Amino acid sequence: MAKSVTKIPQTRNIFTAAPITGIAKRKVAGYARVSTDSDEQFTSYEAQVDYYTRYIQSHPEWEFVKVYTDEGISGTDTRHREGFNEMIEDALAGKIDLIVTKSVSRFARNTVDSLVTIRKLKEHGCECYFEKENIFTFDGKGELLITIMSSLAQEESRSISENVTWGHRKRMADGKVSVAYSTFLGYDKGPDGNLVVNREQAKIVRLIYRSFMEGMAPIGICRMLEERGIPTPGGKKKWYEGTVISILTNEKYRGDALLQKTFTVDFLTKKTKVNEGEVPQYYVEANHEAIIPPEEFEMVQAEIARRKKIGRAYSGTIFGSKIVCGDCGGYYGQKVWHSNDAYRRIVWRCNRKYGQGERCCTPTITEEDIKKLFVQAFNKLMSERTSAITDCEGLATELENTSGLDQEIEATQKEIVTAVEQNRRLIREQAVTGMPTEEFDARAAMLNERYKKADEIFARLKAEREDHLTRGKGIRRFLSALDAQPQNLEDWDEQAWNLLVSRVIIRRNGCVEFVFRGEITITVRAA
């Protein structure tokens, strides 16, 4: 008996489960996006919104929902596209059956984002139509075409990003400096595109540097600026510690410019990273007028390094972390005597004086005494100025000559390379000859120990070389600062203290040693 096959027609949509013969209108939305905020693009944006509004409303079988929009947003990342994300949420909630947009590149230039989003919409019964490519996502070949078109759009974004990056780096290589002037304190954009000092803002920059050298911590500078009603570079009322630190460490205030401090890791995520040697940097000297003299800027960098080394023990005053106990090496701190009576006064005393262990016998000292003793030490230094300068220049030259250390570093590097190569040979030998495990482990342990020892020596030599160069620079800065000082001081000079003094050591016998930044020690005796 012959088979009989009867076709039962489809009655529901495979994706929406809605009756095919139903007369319900499809809920349709449009999507428009432009990637810049320029006037030309604004005209394009307005035209897109108007076009899709009319286009959807011209179809009687469609019900117009709205046109979702994004202005000045890149298509490589959907995370920050508010209009796009709102549209997707509404579609997943069943408010949209069809999304109409100009092209795949308007929807997303990221292949992964595009496919993931389209599949998610498909699962919820929402179709997309790309007018330029004439692709419906419910079509059998739609996903293949979208994959191809999205890949092409992504590659176009990559090409544009690489061209823009090349242009930026070419400008940097040519020494052309550009900053975000709207949030950069102290400078405006000049007629030639270079930095021009803003005289009023420059006063704030100098105040920040001066306050720091007077002993204030960055957080204290923040509070001081807020109390004076001085706005941040971005025009805000509240200052943050990081903002002050960035001002104190920005080389542009000394008239130079370091270019490409950060770089974009990936054109899709737009993630930036601090440049640690992955891409070239360019240092432009004497690019523009300095707000902070180079000598003062270097002093601030040295002070930042000093405070970082001290850590939490730093005290934010002009004497903070500079007065040292000659017995235990600890820092002196402020103490208040007779706080509740007429004899109230502030003295400085070793912070460990009454701690555990042997009690320090170094005396307390007042701020007035410190200031008077500094004047004595300064005048004694200036009376021996010629010999002091000669000694400093000789020491600086000696420290800057690192040829001996360089030879040791080079020899240690060769030792490290040799140890690594012998380790590789050992591994190859073991693979070829089937060396006994005990012998292999013993020889490998010896080579690892050899490598470890050489690596430790290498690190020590590098640190020693860096220390020599840092000390040499410090002595040169001291000589420059000393050259600008008067021959004699009658009274306390805070600027001279900040520029010249490295630390003060209080001895138990009443002697006070002033160690100047040029590594010169002058001893005076307290009364």
CATH 3.90.1750.20 fits 181-292, yes or no: yes
Alpha-carbon torsion (69, 73, 78, 81), positive or negative = negative
The 3-state DSSP class for residue 377 equals: helix
Residue type for 95, please?
Answer: K
Q: Within 10 A of 394 (CB to CB), how many other CB atoms are there?
A: 11
Q: What is the DSSP letter of 527?
A: -
The residue assigned the tokens 């103490």 is: 335
Q: Which residues contact 276 (CB under 8 A, 6 or more apart)?
A: none
Q: What is the pLDDT of residue 200?
A: 93
Q: What is the pLDDT of residue 41?
A: 46
Strand partners, 366: 347
Alpha-carbon torsion (497, 500, 503, 509), positive or negative = negative
Residues 29 and 68 sit within 8 Å (Cβ to Cβ):
yes
Strand 501-506, strand 323-325: pairing: parallel
CATH-assigned architecture of domain 313-527: Orthogonal Bundle (1.10)
Residues 135 and 106 sit within 8 Å (Cβ to Cβ):
no
Domain residue extents for the chain: 26-161, 181-292, 313-527
Q: Which residues contact 250 (CB under 8 A, 6 or more apart)?
A: none
Q: What is the pLDDT of residue 15?
A: 44
Q: Nearest Cα to 282, choosing from 295, 263, 299? A: 263
Paired tokens of 526:
């307290």
Q: What is the pLDDT of residue 274?
A: 76
Q: What is the DSSP letter of 67?
A: E
The rounded distance, in Å, linking the Cα atoms of 495 and 79 is 52
Q: What share of the chain is helix, strand, coil (3-state, %, to 5)?
A: 50, 15, 35
The 3-state DSSP class for residue 274 equals: strand
Strand partners, 100: 30, 129
Question: Which CATH code fits 26-161?
Answer: 3.40.50.1390
Residues 289 and 252 sit within 8 Å (Cβ to Cβ):
no
Q: Flag residues of the chain having pLDDT under 70.
A: 1, 7, 9-23, 35-44, 72-80, 108-112, 140, 142-143, 145-147, 149-175, 262-270, 312-316, 338-339, 342, 355-357, 527
Q: First vs last Cα of the chain: how many Å apart?
A: 130
| Residue 238, Cβ density class (10 Å: 0-12 exposed, 13-18 middle, ≥19 buried) | exposed
Q: What is the pLDDT of residue 37?
A: 47
The rounded distance, in Å, linking the Cα atoms of 144 and 149 is 9
DSSP character string of 93-115:
TTS-SEEEES-HHHH-S-HHHHH
Q: What is the pLDDT of residue 506?
A: 94
CA distances from 443 to 82, 257, 377, 448 (A): 62, 51, 61, 9
Strand partners, 258: 283
CA distances from 414 to 404, 443, 466 (A): 16, 20, 20
| Residue 137, Cβ density class (10 Å: 0-12 exposed, 13-18 middle, ≥19 buried) | buried
Paired tokens of 262:
């950060």
The residue assigned the tokens 């030639």 is: 192
